Structure 1
């Protein structure tokens, strides 16, 4: 009887110990990137893990207090400066709407983006230096004994802190410095892997391949500029003169990639890359009663949903007038996230909201079209729910994202610079009434959903795997420890070419020698 009690106690103690979750330190990026990270944090919390989020003082979306994580507010950088971004956004919208904007002006706007990025990375490094020099803070981090650091490598703060603390590192990633995550971690032959922003597919003509190489060189130049100018001095100071930023990034244990191959073109991958595209997508919840009543009032015509994402809540007034006028001519009901001035052309069929439950609306059976700017989150949700798209790309990767959707026959993409009432109305009618858009998107949705494990569950498994095993070294290649010359075997090629040249010369000299002996000797005998 006593033995049974002891066994029961041991089982109870074991179950309590196994139920205790790990300690996760999160170094996020703000704005739309936080939307993704928040999903992972909530799920980790629901599984019993203890979450600590490093929250920047000037965070716009990262809350200080929640029920599912504790935060440490520090003077670190987790996004673009608000004033810099607002100026850039205004500049880009002006150029896109200027029919006479020269190619030089557009290129200048891209250079302004690079300048903004340079300022951001400089601020990242400056603030991380202050963090590293705060002995008490670093001691607290060490004493907390975290099991893993989860970060978004779009900015480098989390990468630097993980290596300073000696923690296993997991990325929630779509972008690294100016490159997509796959381009950073996996082989990316330029012959069939298009550079993001090139608006090219995986089947390229000769001249498209030339353009792809030139774009890749331009991106590489900007990356080197950022790394050498800001990260290299910092890393040499704190990690040693032989350490490079790329080594720290590529040493990450797991890359949770916010995409999949319903969105990406087929390309090489790596063992420690885990695809979790659409991980934030969930079955729709019931809408609030007033919104549900509005949606139901659309009868057989259905609903159009419009949202331009986290960063852009409104459009210029004249453009908003065109959009509202086009909506007013349709029999469908429209739910539009719009925070600006109420357009004078707004019809009775259009409901303006400061915020809308996007995924619940997209999953509603009456939703017919999604008017979107082309951010990855919105496109993944549209794919998940099988809703075709009218695209209005504004900046960053949005043109390229919508180019991929257009290539799959699920989106009609408009140039915001030539947008007027008629063009917008025609695009809406085309997507509403041409069945192929919806059929193609529903097929994409079936492909995306037809997998043995939900993307969010897959992400959780690998984060917990890293915590259980203190990393995932067996999944990482040693390529990040090789120099560029070694990686491409240029030293081997040089040796082989040298040997070929030497052997060829020896053969030529040997033949010449024998020819001279034979014919030279005969000539002397004849003489």
Structure 2
């Protein structure tokens, strides 16, 4: 009887919670490369678990150069920026690559890139047919690329609540309200670890103060777009749209990130693209078999970089590969290989590589990468050491973390020389401490209580069932900055202390005056 009562009580308890029916979810991705790969994986996970998913994205050959287009299991609404603009943008991107390969990554180049995103956003928000169609669909939720401000504006234009998926590390932490203690939480682009000396903490503090100025410059680039597409009186700001997200999901894991305090509306779900390896083609297997015990190296410098526009840099890399015993599988568009540069005997060029499957191969010895998080997460998952050649964005910061975890190192692009490159590869491959550390981080990543796809699905469904993420967002989002930093309290306490000191001084002065007058009367 007691067991029946407990069972009946448990069933009654479950009946109080509505079962989640298939939700209508819109995913928004306006940037190609790794951004699109991540948003595509998110869309597939939600679709495979019964939700009605549609992606809103740009269309163009530059989304993933070198990769054959795959059939999407979910519907997609696309538009084009126009062939003329895409050709101009490609030329601009190529020039930026040259600067990056010469070590000229700068804030100005990043602002130029964001300005191009602003122009693209203006084109996007003029797609009235698509926007009207999506608005009529009445989506329950949007999952957007939290890096691109235009995704926020599109969701706001459609009137859809949204979850922001940030494809990198905590470079926008201050905008989301998750700044941590500057004594051990490095600011983006500081190139510091969580173990700072005095000068490191001083540098971190100044960079924190400067980061607010940079954020305002970045947001200002989209003001013209906002003025044109939103009516006066209801114009959002990019800063406010960041705080309106029902949830923030970061493509990071603490197997590689430094520990830091987080808010309840911040979830870290890294390695969505890392999976158990599948067998590679027989052609690749035959090439790998030729390596013997030396094994092979995987080389990818980003999903958007299919070739290198700087021949001098390319020669240093290929000469470096010629000096090592390992086979090299390099993602490089073969049709764009420059004439007059010989491919080393141990190098195989491929327009696109099955990176995850190669890293999971037992003979994989090393990943040479630009330092993108998707690639690094796959390397961590499979326990493969890393040599990085960071080019721009968060790639330097990511490689600082790899080096701090002792699972690899990096070479700044302006220091790329064949002998240094080859000796760095030999050191990381032959020194067992790097492989040991990589395997340790792999255990940390793989032993999480829930796999990343289940975490993603669980949090998305939680937001839908609970009617939003208001219960996760702190009240600090509604407070003015002077209240958040307790400046009003500090001012009040300072005034009280000043008043007390003033009264004490007045009393002392009165006592001195009284004693002085008394002595004069006695005399």
TM-score (norm 2): 0.86
Change (3 A) 1:128 1:501: farther
**How many angstroms does 1:48 deviate by?**
1.2
Change (3 A) 1:284 1:484: same
1:504 correspondence with 2:506: no
Change (3 A) 1:55 1:508: same
Q: 1:492 aligns with which of 470, 489, 493?
A: 489
Change (3 A) 1:58 1:365: closer
Which stretch of structure 1 is more off in the superposition, 292-301 or 45-54? 292-301
Match of 1:49 in 2: 51
Change (3 A) 1:112 1:142: closer
Match of 1:300 in 2: 293
1:71 correspondence with 2:76: yes
Q: 1:191 aligns with which of 161, 164, 183?
A: 183
Counterpart Cα distance in 1 of 2:131 and 2:189: 39
Q: 2:201 aligns with which of 184, 209, 213?
A: 209
Change (3 A) 1:211 1:477: same
Counterpart Cα distance in 2 of 1:314 and 1:25: 33
User: Which SS does the other structure have where 1:150 is aligned?
Assistant: strand
Change (3 A) 1:238 1:413: same
Counterpart Cα distance in 2 of 1:286 and 1:261: 29
**Contact 1:65-1:71 within 8 A present in 2 as well:** no
Match of 1:255 in 2: 248
User: What runs of 5+ residues in structure 1 fail to find an aligned partner?
Assistant: 1-13, 97-105
Which stretch of structure 1 is more off in the superposition, 302-311 or 241-250? 241-250
User: Which SS does the other structure have where 2:387 is aligned?
Assistant: strand
Q: How do 1:82-93 and structure 2 match up within 5 A?
A: 82-93=90-101
**How many angstroms does 1:28 deviate by?**
1.0
**Contact 1:372-1:391 within 8 A present in 2 as well:** yes
**How many angstroms does 1:460 deviate by?**
1.1
**How many angstroms does 1:141 deviate by?**
3.3
1:526 correspondence with 2:498: no
Counterpart Cα distance in 1 of 2:220 and 2:418: 48
Change (3 A) 1:84 1:220: farther
User: What runs of 5+ residues in structure 2 fail to find an aligned partner?
Assistant: 1-14
Which stretch of structure 1 is more off in the superposition, 231-240 or 136-145? 231-240
Match of 1:277 in 2: 270
Match of 1:461 in 2: 458
Q: 1:265 aligns with which of 258, 266, 271?
A: 258
**Contact 2:35-2:167 within 8 A present in 1 as well:** no
Counterpart Cα distance in 1 of 2:522 and 2:274: 95
Q: How do 1:404-483 and structure 2 match up within 5 A?
A: 404-483=401-480
Counterpart Cα distance in 1 of 2:230 and 2:501: 49
**Contact 2:390-2:399 within 8 A present in 1 as well:** yes
**How many angstroms does 1:362 deviate by?**
0.1
Counterpart Cα distance in 2 of 1:60 and 1:307: 17
Match of 1:28 in 2: 29
**Contact 1:392-1:414 within 8 A present in 2 as well:** yes
Counterpart Cα distance in 1 of 2:52 and 2:70: 14
**How many angstroms does 1:514 deviate by?**
4.2
Q: 1:363 aligns with which of 335, 352, 360?
A: 360
Q: For residues 398-428 of structure 1, give each alpha carbon's deviation from its aligned partner in whole angstroms, at most 9, with x where no partner exists.
A: 2221121112211132232232322122112
User: Which SS does the other structure have where 1:474 is aligned?
Assistant: coil
**How many angstroms does 1:233 deviate by?**
8.2
Counterpart Cα distance in 2 of 1:490 and 1:440: 45
Q: For residues 184-236 of structure 1, give each alpha carbon's deviation from its aligned partner in whole angstroms, at most 9, with x where no partner exists.
A: 33132322211222211112122222222333333321211232453388379
Match of 1:10 in 2: none
Q: For residues 277-302 of structure 1, give each alpha carbon's deviation from its aligned partner in whole angstroms, at most 9, with x where no partner exists.
A: 11211000111121122222322221
Q: 1:130 aligns with which of 122, 126, 132?
A: 126
**Contact 2:118-2:225 within 8 A present in 1 as well:** no
**How many angstroms does 1:366 deviate by?**
0.8
Counterpart Cα distance in 2 of 1:182 and 1:59: 35
Change (3 A) 1:76 1:217: farther
Counterpart Cα distance in 2 of 1:243 and 1:513: 59
Which has the higher relative contact order, 1 or 2, with Cα contacts under 8 A spaced 6 or more apart? 2
**How many angstroms does 1:22 deviate by?**
1.0
Q: How do 1:9-28 and structure 2 match up within 5 A?
A: 20-28=21-29
Counterpart Cα distance in 2 of 1:229 and 1:58: 24
Match of 1:6 in 2: none
**How many angstroms does 1:472 deviate by?**
1.7
